[in-house]
Structure 1
């Protein structure tokens, strides 16, 4: 494919994406086909000779898109949002076209420096503490997901707690991680990968009303482990838990971590985006205690997956924990100590030029555009919650500080599960569920830039009608 062929094909692909977005609201949110339907429709192997892009696009229309769950659909209210935008897609296209491998500053200077500046921009946009900026001992980096950020934070915490002997974790002493009953499953996975084992995570009780971590229960767990000869290594607090968007009391948790010298990682994967709005920064109180912090622009900030923004207060600790330097990566710039090599800030060696899509998004929308995006979804969630609250058939199951509303039928678990199944079967909306205090609970998460008040009202009317009397 020479440049002129690419130009023609590229126009066709961009047109296809634009048409897809324009028609999303007319499509079912989810596929009704059984497992294996696409696999059965594909040929047994590749063609002997090349095919034109038009044939590929035709098969996208006929075979692939009808069998997708459409995450960009205005009626997609499941999980948490994972939404992209035009500027993000264009930034990704440029990144793919450049084909940069950004493992070292020397391998792609602009890739590294743009990422450093973008993470500083984001830190300012969210009002994060100065200690996370690259102008001091800390700094930011783009990970693929909050799960990877938690793993990297865990490895750095173990390096600190073990005095650099973290490769012998599980041999010389037992190290412990702590999170609440509402913490993400990636915390346990990180502990397993880091060698703490499945029982290396201490699950701390949450307040039954707020569903946030109980700082007194955390202190008791740390004291019990110290008395047993174990080493508390890391506490993971959450701003916006996955089930209900509960906000852990970071100021009190941070004080406990400071008292016992334990690394504090704050996971704000979904709700971190809310901090672009000054009136929502109450959720980020206490970050001055944090050793590391992350959030996902690829959830609620219009940046396509994958893009997790991860900061540390002391980058030297992270680099010491993760650096491995073979001879073939040595170069004058790295040896000078004057540059950042992001390969030392993550588990993989290789890196894509992910800062480009973030740069495109921040410049296209601007600060006020991003704030308007977040505020509109918070307002839509408030509107939906008011409808739930006013209907005695329904119960709000948890506070809704951001754009997720958790609710259930007063008639009980079986009725609530049946309601979810019926509304999802319509293809007009897609919701997911959790359990709150053991009760089956529906989750409606607003995040798509295509979602308007009309779509949220339609979701309520559908739920209300399907609930019956």
Structure 2
């Protein structure tokens, strides 16, 4: 592909994406076709001769987009948002065009230094503790996801708990990780990968009213393990749990970790973005106790997947735990000790120039634009919660401090599951579910920048229409 061919094809692709966004509202949010539909329509093998980009775009229209779940749709209220935006897409395009491999400072100086500065920008926007800034003992890095951040935090915690011996002799099952019963599944996966096994995670009970970790239960679990000769290595506290956006009490949890010398990782994958708004920083109370912290700009901050912002208070122990330096990567800049090599801050060696899309987003929207986006989502969720509260057939399940509302019909689980199925089958909206205190609960998460009051009100109308059909008159 010559530069001129690329220019023509690139214009066509950008036009296609713009048209896709412009027509999203007219599309069903999800496909209703059975598994195997796309595979059955694809050819048995690749083409023998090259094809023009127009042919590929035509197949995107006929084969691919009709069979997608459209995460950018204004009626997509499932899971948590996975937003992208025009600036983010353009930044990703530049990153792909540059093809930089940013494993070392020497392999991409601007790649490394831009990332370092952007993580400081983000730390300022969220008003994180000063110990997470570059220029201190701490600093930040972009991981692919909060799952990877949790894995890295777990590895560093085990290295610390083992007195540095983990790097030389590996780990045994005498170490323990702690998380609430509402903690993300990535916590158990990290323990498995690190060699602790699923049993290496101690689930800590939550307050049934708030779904937040019980400090008393955490202390009891730690004391029992210590008495049994088990070493408490890491506590993962969550700000904004996946099921209900519960907020674990960091001041109490942090004090317990400090008392026992336990590494504290704070997972704010979804809710951390809200802290760009000063009035939504309540979840960060006690964050000064944290050894590491992460949130996902790719969830609620208009930056396309994958982009997790991860900070540690002590970069030296992070590097000591993860660094492996073969001869073929040695270079003068690394040997000088004057640069950051982000390969030592993550599990893989290679890394894309992810900072570019974040840079584009921050430059385009500015802090006020990001705050406006977050506040809009919170206001729309509150609007929906008001509808639920006003209808005595429904009940809110827990608080809604951010932009997720959990609710259910005052009926059995089967009726609530059928309600969800009927609403999603309309193709106009997509909601998901969880279980809270054992009961089937619906979730509506606002996050798309395309979502307005009209779409939230339509979701409520669809829910009440389905409830009218399901409940006895």
Measured against the shorter chain, the TM-score band is over 0.9
Whether contact under 8 Å (1:85, 1:304) holds in the other structure is yes
Map 1:70-469 onto structure 2 (within 5 A). Answer: 70-167=70-167, 168-171=169-172, 174-468=174-468, 469=471
Deviations 1:406-451 (A, max 9, x none): 0001012111000000000010000000000000000000000100
Between the aligned partners of 1:339 and 1:67, the Cα distance in structure 2 is: 46
Deviations 1:348-394 (A, max 9, x none): 00000000000000010000000000001100000100100110110
Report deviation, 1:283.
1.1
Whether contact under 8 Å (1:238, 1:268) holds in the other structure is yes
The structure 1 segments of at least 4 consecutive aligned residues displaced by more than 6 Å after TM superposition are none
Whether contact under 8 Å (1:158, 1:166) holds in the other structure is yes
Between the aligned partners of 1:311 and 1:170, the Cα distance in structure 2 is: 24
The 3-state SS of whatever aligns with 1:265 is strand
The 3-state SS of whatever aligns with 1:325 is coil
Gaps of 5+ in 2: none
Between the aligned partners of 2:399 and 2:254, the Cα distance in structure 1 is: 23
Between the aligned partners of 2:84 and 2:197, the Cα distance in structure 1 is: 36
The 3-state SS of whatever aligns with 1:387 is helix
Report deviation, 1:5.
0.5
Deviations 1:27-47 (A, max 9, x none): 000001110010010001111
Gaps of 5+ in 1: none
Structure 1 length as normaliser, TM-score? Answer: 0.99
Between the aligned partners of 1:56 and 1:350, the Cα distance in structure 2 is: 29
Give me the CA root mean square deviation: 0.7
Deviations 1:120-174 (A, max 9, x none): 0000000000000002010000000000000000000000000111144544x60
Report deviation, 1:54.
0.3
Between the aligned partners of 1:100 and 1:269, the Cα distance in structure 2 is: 27
Whether contact under 8 Å (1:169, 1:175) holds in the other structure is no
Between the aligned partners of 2:459 and 2:181, the Cα distance in structure 1 is: 30
Between the aligned partners of 2:412 and 2:397, the Cα distance in structure 1 is: 12
Report deviation, 1:198.
1.1
The 3-state SS of whatever aligns with 2:343 is helix
Between the aligned partners of 1:223 and 1:144, the Cα distance in structure 2 is: 35
Deviations 1:175-201 (A, max 9, x none): 000000100000000000001111000
Between the aligned partners of 1:283 and 1:375, the Cα distance in structure 2 is: 16
Deviations 1:319-338 (A, max 9, x none): 00000000000000000000
Map 1:17-32 onto structure 2 (within 5 A). Answer: 17-32=17-32
The 3-state SS of whatever aligns with 1:347 is coil
The 3-state SS of whatever aligns with 1:368 is helix
Report deviation, 1:216.
1.0
Between the aligned partners of 1:49 and 1:414, the Cα distance in structure 2 is: 53
Report deviation, 1:398.
1.3
The 3-state SS of whatever aligns with 1:216 is helix
The 3-state SS of whatever aligns with 1:120 is helix
